[in-house]
Structure 1
Amino acid sequence: MTRPGPRERLLTSALELTYTQGVGVGVDAILKHADVARRSLYQHFGGKDGLITEVIAAGAAEDEARYAHALDQGGNDPRERVRTLFTLLTGLVAAPGFTGCRYIAAHLNLPPGHPATAGIRAHKDRVRAMFARETHAMGHPAPEDAAARLLMLADAVLVEGALRPEADLAVLVEPMVEAVLG
C-alpha cells in the first residue's frame, strides 16, 4: 500500500488534531503528526490559515455526506428523514471521543475575517438547506423558519453533547424536533 503524499497527510493530521485539540493547535504538532516538512505546509496550503480553511471544507464535505446518508436512511417521509438525522446526531455525541462541533469551536476561536469563517457559514447554510428541503417536502406552513429551528436544535445537540456527555440528548431533543415539525 502506498503512503499518502504530504498534502493528504497534512490534511488528515490537521483534521484529527484540530478536532481533538482545536484550531489553535500548533503547526509543529501538525507537521510532526503528518511526518512532513514545514515546506510542504506552505507549498500545499500557503500556511496554517490555508490549511485550516481546507480542514473546514473537508470536514464539511464529510459531515454533509453523512447527514445526506442519514436522511436517505429515513426513506421517503420527510418527518422520518429529519428524525433519522437527529438519531445520527445524538448517536455521534454519545460516541467515545466526541468533543463537540468542529465548526462552532473553530468559529469561536478564529479571528474575525479568517478565511475559514466563510466556509463555516457556508456549511451551516447547506445543513439548513437540507432541513429546508425536508420541511418544504412535508408541506410545513413555515418551512424556512422550521429549517432554521432544526439547525439550531442540531447545533444545540452538538454543543450539549460536548458539555454534558452524560445527558440523554435523544430524550431531550425528540419532543423539540416534533414540536418544530408540527
Structure 2
Amino acid sequence: MSRGMKVKVLLILAAALALLMVNAAVFAYYPVTVTVTGVQPVILELGANAGKDDLGADNRIVVTLGPKKASASITLHPTYQTTYYKNVTVIKNLDSRAYYVAIRVNDFADPSVFTEASLIICASSGATIATIDLTATGTSGWFGPLSAGDNFSLDFRFNIDEGVDLPSAETIGFQVIYSPQNVEAAP
C-alpha cells in the first residue's frame, strides 16, 4: 500500500473515531414530572373459614392480613390424599369500577410432595372462576370481572400420596394482580 493510501485510511479512521466521540459526548435532558397519588381499590379480607379448626390437635386455618390488607400470610395443615380448604381468603373490590384479576405463582409447591396443589378462585355466587396450578411458576390469564363491591373467595386443594412424607413446612408464594383492563398481559 502506498504512503498516500495509508494516510487516507488513517484520516478516514480518525474522522470516524472523532465522529463517534462527538456523538458519545452529547446528552440532552428533558424534564418530566410524575405525580403519584396512591389508591387502594382492592383489598384482601379474611375468608369465612379463616380462624376455624384445621386438621390436627390445636391447629387452625390461620390467615394474617397485612396492616393495609394488601398482603396475606396463610397457614394450612393438609393430610394425605385430598384436602380441600374453602373460603380461606377473599379478594374484595371497594371501588365503583370493575377489575380483572390474575394470579402469578412465584414460589411453587414441590411436585415431588404434592400431586396437586391448586388455588381455586370462586365468585360470590360460589361458582368456580379459575383453578390455578400451584406446582409451577407462571401467570394466569385475566379472569373476572370483579364487579364494584363484589368479592372472589380463595379456596385451596391439596393432594399428597401416602408414599411420600408430609411436608413439615412447605412455602408457596403467589401474587394477586388486578387491573381495570384485560387486554394486555401483566408485566
Q: Normalised by the size of structure 2, how large is the TM-score? A: 0.25
Higher share in helix: 1
Rg larger for = 2
Q: Normalised by the size of structure 1, how large is the TM-score? A: 0.26
